[in-house]
Chain A
Amino acid sequence: MTIVVNVDVMLARRKIRSKELAEAVGITEQNLSILKTGKAKAIRFSTLDAICKYLDCQPGDVLEYLDEERL
């Protein structure tokens, strides 16, 4: 089971820098990096809410499920 975080894709689409998103969402750049590199073990709804609000997208645009067995 793998949940892939596609924040990078949304940042590129919206032409926003990571630092800008981190400041807007209220998390550190280090935490955003943890999210982008797939090291995060959990994400708070409040954080996901803030990301979607700032990037004007849906949770499904940021999070994707990939079944490793099927790949």
Chain B
Amino acid sequence: MKKIQRVSRFFKWVFQIIFYILPITYIIFWINAPTPVFSTYGFILSFIPQGNMIVSTMLPTDTKLLAFVIGLIPLAVNLFILYFLVRLFRGFEKSEIFSKRNVGHIKWLGYTILIGQLLQPLYQALMSAALTWHNLPGTRVIEISFTGTNVGLVLTALLIILISWIMAEGQKLQEEQEYTV
């Protein structure tokens, strides 16, 4: 149990740090967009989805603002995922394995990933339209894609939801044992 607590504490802190850094990095990115963050250090972090669209190297402020707002969709999804991960590992750290709270966190983690992937085509369409709006005619695009990565994440989300059902059964068994005198 001590090993689980130790490892859980580590992951709780990792996810908590990412939770705070992610929105800050997001804001920094859009101030300098479309230049990736930390590119001068050889580390590329971009919040523009990969695609075939041509993005101008000098984005107007209104475009940046619009893209910033659109980008809040996946950012919110990622922050929710990190929030549930922090709460989950906080529970594991307190030796709460089969608790109702943890089961809820796992379930909502799965649903959040699923919702994020289902929103992906909409987000991509809006972002590609926003970033290419000021382009020359013939280079303005609306991109929609659903790749193997998206399918993989949808399957992962469904597996996580299934695991939460199994954990719920485990929670009932533990509760029964706890209340057996």
A contact residues vs B (CB 8 Å cutoff): 27, 31-32, 34-35, 39-44, 47
Contacts and interface: CB of A to CB of B under 8 A. Distances in A.
Interface centre among B179, B180, B181 (most CB of A within 10 A): B181
Interface of B: 175-176, 179-181
Contacts of B175: 41
Nearest to B172: A41
21 contacts: A27-B181, A31-B181, A32-B181, A34-B179, A34-B181, A39-B179, A40-B179, A40-B180, A40-B181, A41-B175, A41-B176, A41-B179, A41-B180, A42-B179, A42-B180, A42-B181, A43-B180, A43-B181, A44-B180, A44-B181, A47-B181
Contact of B176 (A35, A42, A44, A47): A42
A63 B176 CA distance: 19
A41 B175 CA distance: 9
A1 B94 CA distance: 35
